[in-house]
Amino acid sequence: MANLKEVKERINSVVSTQQITKAMKMVSASKLRRAQDKIIQMRPYSQKLTAILNNVSSASEGDEDIVFAEKREVKNVLIVPITSDKGLCGAFNSNILKAANLAIVQRFADKNVTILPLGKKAFEFFKKKDNKFIGEFYQVFSEVTFENVRRVADFVMDGFVNGDYDQIVLVYNEFKNVATQNVIVEKFLPMEKIAEEGVIKGADVDYILEPSREFIIEDLVPTSLKIQFYKAILESNASEHGARMTAMDKATENAGDLLKDLRLMYNRTRQAAITNEILEIVSGANALGGK
């Protein structure tokens, strides 16, 4: 059985760890509120922008003239895994890395794959791999703003337009709630057909397009794509704080359970030591009395 000093040291260590995990949970809860507000505000805007683009597109023959919707034989693929900069958030990062790896091995096994990691964890993981690697944008989470994210989106979109990549795939966590994050493997480019089924046809709708449909499409499509890219970053950011909050809450509970066991062990060890001392005193007294 461990001595009292060892058990006491373990108790103090667990108490310190519990204080840290509790503080991290509170910090994550605060950051989650701000991140959640951002993504909740962004979703309606993104959906409305897509709806406007759909309506404008429905007034024409289709989206064949949109450069970002160009379909071509897939030879070169850019995969953008989005992770966090820090750990201690459960399976948040490992799920993304597994999904990205699975896409490389199964979906794009015979393609030329390039990795553009966003987040330090993805950067550290994929820089050790054999795939082509672009590591200049991984610190995007140092400041999650539209201007900062737009630089990455511009680079990705220019790569598609210039023919460097035939398909671009985003891998990120979609925020559902504090305890649930869904891994999304989403084709970012080329765009799917803009006018979805059920959208009212142009012949049935009287649109006034100024200065022209071509100008509006040319302006709306890149903006919509950048908003979609920014939304994926916000989803991942909110998911990270939710996952970390959940992980730290569970760690705090586990530390509490461990403390109960250690304190029980401490009391038993202390009681055993007291009992031994009493037995020694009694044995000594009997020995003296026998003389």
User: Which helix (H) or strand (E) segment is 183 a member of?
Assistant: strand 180-189
The dihedral sign for the CA sequence 57, 62, 66, 67:
positive
Contact 16, 262 (CB under 8 A): no
Does residue 207 have a pLDDT over 60?
no
**b/e map of 234-249 (b: 16 or more CB within 10 Å)?**
bbbbbbbbbbbbbbbb
More confident: 266 or 218: 266
Q: In what helix (H) or strand (E) does residue 132 lie, and over which residues does it extend? A: strand 132-133
- Whether residue 234 is predicted with pLDDT greater than 70 in this model: the reply is yes
- Domain assignment present for residue 281? The answer is no
**pLDDT one-digit tens code per residue, 78-135:** 999 999 999 999 999 999 999 999 999 999 988 999 999 999 999 999 988 888 889 8
pLDDT in tens, 123-157: 999 988 888 889 899 999 988 899 999 999 999 99
Does a structural domain hold residue 85? yes
Of the candidate ranges 1-10, 95-104, 199-208, 253-262, the one whose mean pLDDT is the lowest: 199-208
166: in domain: yes
C-alpha span between 127 and 133 (Å, rounded): 7
* Tokens 């990205």, residue located: 100
- Going by C-alpha positions, the residue among 264, 277, 271, 275 that lies closest to residue 10 is 264
C-alpha to C-alpha distance for 257 and 216, rounded to whole angstroms? 61
Is 259 contained in some domain?
no
What total of structural domains would you count in the chain? 1
Local confidence band at 271 (pLDDT 50, 70, 90 cut-offs):
confident
Helix axes 213-290, 4-58, angle to 10 degrees: 170
Active site residue 247: no
**CATH code, 121:** 3.40.1380.10
- Residue closest to 116 by CA, chosen among 137, 142, 93, 145: 137
- Indicate if the pLDDT at residue 30 is higher than 80: yes
Query: Does residue 32 have a pLDDT over 70?
Result: yes
Average model confidence (pLDDT) across the chain:
86
> What is the enclosing helix (H) or strand (E) of 144?
none
In a domain, 103, yes or no: yes
27 versus 50: the higher-pLDDT residue is: 27
- The span from the CA of 81 to the CA of 172, in Å, is 6
- The answer to whether position 60 is within a domain reads yes
Catalytic residue among 7, 56, 79, 89: 89
Q: How far apart are CA 128 and CA 115, in angstroms?
A: 12
Considering only CA atoms, give the Rg of the chain: 29
Q: Which domain holds residue 111?
A: 25-246
| Band (291; pLDDT cuts 50, 70, 90) | low
